[in-house]
Amino acid sequence: MKKLFTTLLAASLMLVGTQAFAQLSAGVGYINANEKSTYTGSDGTKTTTTAPLNGFYLGGQYDMPIPAVSGLGANAGVYANFLFGSKHYDGILGFGAGTNKITDITVNLPINATFGFDISGDTNVFAYAGPIFQFGLANKSTYTPDSNSSSSTTNDNYAGDNPNRNRFNLLIGGGIGAQVAGIRIVLGVDQSLLNYTTASKTVASRFQLKLGAGYAF
């Protein structure tokens, strides 16, 4: 009984210590992304195009240290990404020359392993890496031909029985950051691991760079 009590007490103290240093934070930042799409024609010819996307993210996360290893931790978060892009094409997927505008909104659930160390009492630097589970809320594209006699074509890429895109994706992310008196600055990169587009014999992948700031409560 004494051994059991000692074990429970030690576990309780560890949990208290973990909760004491756990942090809830909120953040917002800038995203610069490039989406590469490859279309395979009926003759097997592949055409690759790259569309630039820019926007922002906002959300929050919960950081928790792992007491067994100094500096090691984990976090999980919920973030919304808002991306917008515009690119001119000489001709794409049967359309004539024109401009394609994209709006993309997703919910992202990152789960990261982290490692950091203190520089001073209220300043530390850290690195993180882990998977990001992504769910698409909206993805719309509007193609406007250069010819004034032709009207714009708007596609809701999640709609219909045969949507142009998958709502779900898996990304891998990582980055570095610093925290001073609760204020965080983070620089990170993400790469999609699954293809976004499934229809029209087109597949797409995305790489994005993120720069953000946040506050840990």
One-character DSSP codes across 117-186: EEEETTEEEEEEEEEEEEEEEEEEEEEEESSTTS--EEEETT-SSS-SB-SEEEEEEEEEEEEETTEEEE
pLDDT number for residue 11: 46
Strand, helix or coil for residue 24: strand
User: What letter does residue 44 receive in the DSSP assignment?
Assistant: S
Q: Both tokens of residue 148?
A: 């004034």
pLDDT number for residue 198: 66
pLDDT number for residue 199: 65
| CA atoms in the 13 A half-sphere facing the CB of 119 | 9
pLDDT number for residue 19: 42
Give the pLDDT means over successive 10-residue stretches in the chain (217 positions): 49 42 91 90 81 96 91 96 90 71 96 93 93 96 78 83 86 97 96 82 90 95
